[in-house]
Amino acid sequence: MFKGFKQFLLRGNVIDLAVAVVIGGAFGKVVAALTQDLINPLIAALVGKPDFSAFKFTIGKGAFEPGQFLNSIIEFLLVAAAVYFFVVVPMNTVMSRLRRGQAPPDPTTKQCPECLSTIPIQARRCAFCTSTVGPA
């Protein structure tokens, strides 16, 4: 039983996921600090409030406080932008440089000339319209 548990823990995916969670938590703290220390004062300079948490309104006897929700949306958008620009874009650049000069992989599908559906490359008959399909 412990041997299987040890194999599970030492698999690459589990370790990669653990590292991603730890780095993601730290990255979230950095972005939260960026929001509180730089973005909110900028908003305060433009709008007059340091953040939106004080934004409240009432309808009848109900008090609505959407300010904290707006702060969360701003923080989410900042995290998403930071992940995209500091992780996704550089990784795409690195991967495209690694693939430079390689031939593209052979196609695995083709289009049916009758119904334009996508079918496997080795198919001799379309699964959708049953027309006979020639070689790719």
Task: Let me know: does 122 contact 106? Beta carbons within 8 Å.
Answer: no
pLDDT tens string 22-77: 888 888 888 778 777 887 788 778 877 666 777 888 888 888 888 888 878 887 88
Phi–psi pair at 131, nearest 5 degrees: -80, 155
How confident is the model at residue 109, as a pLDDT?
Answer: 92
CA distance 130 to 121: 15
How confident is the model at residue 111, as a pLDDT?
Answer: 92
Domains and CATH numbers, the chain: 2-99 (1.10.1200.120), 105-136 (no CATH)
Phi–psi pair at 130, nearest 5 degrees: 60, 20
Task: Let me know how many helices (H) and strands (E) the chain has, helices first.
Answer: 5, 4
How confident is the model at residue 12, as a pLDDT?
Answer: 67
Total-model pTM: 0.52
Report the chain's mean pLDDT, rounded to a whole number.
83
* Model confidence band, residue 4 (pLDDT cutoffs 50, 70, 90): confident
CA distance 52 to 118: 50
Task: Let me know: does 78 contact 86? Beta carbons within 8 Å.
Answer: no
More confident residue, 128 or 31: 128
